[in-house]
Amino acid sequence: MADRDFHVEKCLPELAGAIKRSKVLMVGAGGIGCELLKNLVLTGFGEVHLLDLDTIDLSNLNRQFLFQKQHIKKSKALVAKETAAKFNPHVKLEAYHANIKDAKYDIAWFQQFNLVFNALDNIDARRHVNKMCLAADVPLIESGTTGFRGQVQVIVRGKTECYDCHPKEVPKSFPICTIRSTPSQPIHCIVWAKSYLFSQVFGVDEDEGTLDGSSNAENADEIANLAKEANALKVIREAVGQPEFKRLVFDKVFKEDIERLRSMEEMWQSRTKPDSLSFDTVNSKAQEQGGQPWTNDQALWTLEDNILVFNDSLDRLSARLLKLKADAVPDSAAPVLSFDKDDVDTLDFVAAAANIRAHIFGIDKKTKFEIKQMAGNIIAAIATTNAIIAGVCVLQSFKVLKNEIKQAKTVFLSRRPERVFNNEVVASPVQDCQVCGVARAQLRCDTSKHTLGEVVEMLKQTCGYTDEISVLTDNLIYDPDFDDNVSKSLADLSAGSGVFLTVVDEDEDDEAGPRVNLVLAIQHIEGQTIVELDSTPDIARRPKKQLVETDNVVPAAPEVNGTGEKRKREGEDDSESGSSKKKKVEQEVLYINDGDEIEID
């Protein structure tokens, strides 16, 4: 290890000390995260904290090289720490099997780090980390990959663009690495049905093979579990065409596997547990209903409809596979079926299986027509792309540690052989970005005692606001025509520690124009006697071009989430009795809905 330190000091004489003293956070321990953690440890970063909510799946092992078979179903973060610690025992590692959006990971927690690395696979979590790093004023290195393409972006408050400065295009690829354990969107269920279930039952079993027989006391149980699962799948494949085939498939993936997931209590601390289904129960109801729902690809099938389609498609696919086997040349490779979105039988199976899984996890179902569109566009993660992007992340971190932000680059990796790398100088913040183009401060108070009215009065006195302001959390909680909440404590309004208040200046009579939004991060201090800000924010004026009429839309800060609908005052109906002021505020809140936007990790 001394030799490694020697070479780092020789290669990076100006940075070796800063690297050793650095305390960094890495969010995400998947494809990029495994490569990045290895790089950080071997480079000699003094203290690395890593956080990931996912557990290890068999499909991760071909590209997430910190994990092995005996680690399946264990926490990615905890196993990554254990494995990477062997590379450099001088690096202090801390791992968290948790959700980065949990309230305990607040601004104060982020402020302990010199630098944050994002290695996430979904837009919502990326936006959250971007928001928290801006609020904590901690540099962020954002990264992502999609097949052969990837990018790295350096984000520093007030100096560079942030993750939300530009609208994100709808990705044309979808993640494969975390869909088996904690699906949260319809596309996760579709990928699971197509890439896992269909291939396991009718395709090539990539997981089949000789299990490592060198089991010890530490991994004996896991090896036994893997052997049991492999045997269960073998029994299912051998039962193709037999009367019990449908029951075996259904109970394996929709009952036994779900009950196993439910038993992992740590996975459901901040999620709703899935509900397992029994073939006998749901099939009897479906048979009573009857019909041929698969003939209507535009209808949103009920659970019973999906059961009928699932059963019928299994019969059709079983018959096809048995015929292929009967017609096969002796001693030739075993025949298999492959998914084709234009193949009615395979599409029916994937659509029904995906919708049943969506029902189990409380996710919206999709029509067969929609599933056909989504299932035709799945791209797997590639290990070499992850490795390259992880290396670029570390190279860019050196510029941040040297405080040479102007030397940092936004790097793009492409598949074009004539120019694999494209890079550009980091851009300045977009002036009207509603995430980084706002003023920020921390609001210190006792949320159980201090009221919204006290906060509003403090803002008028401290920041010079007039009466024409609106205050929002997930919804509008105050404006001059909506003062129902002024006597309520912040806690009563679910505005506790870590919640963001967005203050919108509505005073368009001011010759200078209204000011940009002020975003306040609430810091609960037990026994605090006054409501105060940690500092007096410098709130810039909105550019003249941003001033709008009542019927236009001005995006509000992404800290404001939800439906965009405000509660009505008592006695207010849906007619024009509501004030124009109130209507205007409703129109000024633009809520971001990610829909099916997901990015590869």
Q: Which residues contact 267 (CB under 8 A, 6 or more apart)?
A: 53, 55, 181, 182, 261
Tell me whether residue 110 is in a domain. yes
- Residues recorded for the chain: 601
Q: Residue 505 maps to which CATH number?
A: 3.10.290.20
CA atoms within 13 A of residue 417's CA, in its CB half-sphere? 0
Enumerate the β-bridge partners of residue 96: 51
Rounded CA separation 222/217 (Å): 10
**Predicted pLDDT at 103:** 86
User: Which of 391, 425, 459 is where one domain is finished?
Assistant: 425
Does the annotation mark 177 as catalytic? yes
In a domain, 93, yes or no: yes
Q: Are residues 322 and 417 in the same domain?
A: no
| Active-site annotation holder among 11, 34, 133, 177 | 177
Q: How many C-beta neighbours within 10 Å does residue 242 have?
A: 11
Count CB-CB contacts under 10 A for residue 463: 18
> Is residue 371 located within the same domain as residue 386?
no
Q: What are the strands of the beta sheet with 518-524, ordered from one edge?
A: 476-478, 469-472, 500-505, 518-524, 439-445, 532-533
Closest listed residue to residue 233, CA positions, set 197, 264, 263: 197
Q: Which domain-ending residue is among 375, 393, 410?
A: 375
Task: Look up the pTM and report it.
Answer: 0.65
CB 274 within 8 A of CB 261: yes
Residue among 440, 414, 442 at smallest CA distance from 429:
440
From 364, 394, 425, give the residue that closes a domain: 425
Give the H or E element holding residue 344: helix 344-360
Six-digit token string for 468? 């024409």
CA-based end-to-end distance of the chain: 31
Tokens coding 63: 């590209």
145 and 83 share one domain:
yes
pLDDT beneath 70, residues of the chain: 1-4, 169-178, 204-230, 377-380, 510, 544-601
Q: Are residues 421 and 570 in the same domain?
A: no
Residues 6+ apart with CB under 8 A from 128: 100, 101
Question: Which phi and psi (to 5°) does residue 596 adopt?
Answer: -100, 20
- In the beta sheet, which residues pair with residue 492? none
CATH of the domain at 112: 3.40.50.720
Annotated binding residues for ATP, as ranges?
A: 28-33, 52, 60-63, 76, 121-126
- Report the domain count for the chain: 3
pLDDT digits (tens, 9 = 90+) for 503-526: 999 887 767 778 899 999 999 999
In a domain, 63, yes or no: yes
Kindly state whether residue 235 falls inside one of the protein's structural domains: yes
Cα(139)–Cα(122) distance, rounded to whole angstroms? Answer: 20
What is residue 123's predicted lDDT score, i.e. its pLDDT?
Answer: 85
User: Do 256 and 395 belong together in one domain?
Assistant: no
- Is 431 within a domain? no
CA–CA gap between residue 264 and residue 38 (Å, rounded): 28
Angle ∠(131,60,34) on CA atoms, nearest 5: 50
In the prediction, which pLDDT does 73 show? 86
Residue 302: CATH number of its domain: 1.10.10.520
CA angle 561/567/572 to nearest 5° reads: 155
Report DSSP letters for 242-309, one per residue: STTHHHHHHHIIIIIHHHHHHT-GGGGSSSPPP----HHHHHHHHHHH---GGG-TTS---HHHHHHH
Whether residue 177 lies inside any domain: the answer is: no
Q: Per the structure block, which two tokens stand in for 320?
A: 């096809």
User: pLDDT tens for residues 171-207?
Assistant: 545 555 457 788 888 988 998 999 888 988 887 644 3
Which residues of 134-215 form beta strands (DSSP E)?
A: 140-146, 149-155
Residue 156: which domain range? 2-172+381-425
166 in a domain, yes or no?
A: yes
Residues 450 and 417 in one domain: no
* Same domain flag for 395 and 448: no
Same domain, 140 and 244: no
Contacts of 203 (CB under 8 A, 6+ apart): 336, 337, 338, 339
Q: Are 397 and 362 in a shared domain?
A: no
Flag whether 206 is in a domain.
yes
Q: Where would I find the beta strands (DSSP E) of 386-438?
A: 409-413, 421-425
Distance of CA 567 to the CA centre of its chain: 29
As annotated, the binding site for Zn(2+) includes: 162, 165, 433, 436
d(CA 570, CA 594): 33
127, with CB counted inside 10 A (0-12, 13-18, 19+), is buried
364 and 417 both lie in a single domain = no
Task: Decide if 503 contacts 455 (C-beta within 8 A).
Answer: no
Check whether residue 347 and residue 239 sit in a common domain.
Answer: yes
* Statement to judge: residues 462 and 416 lie in one domain: no
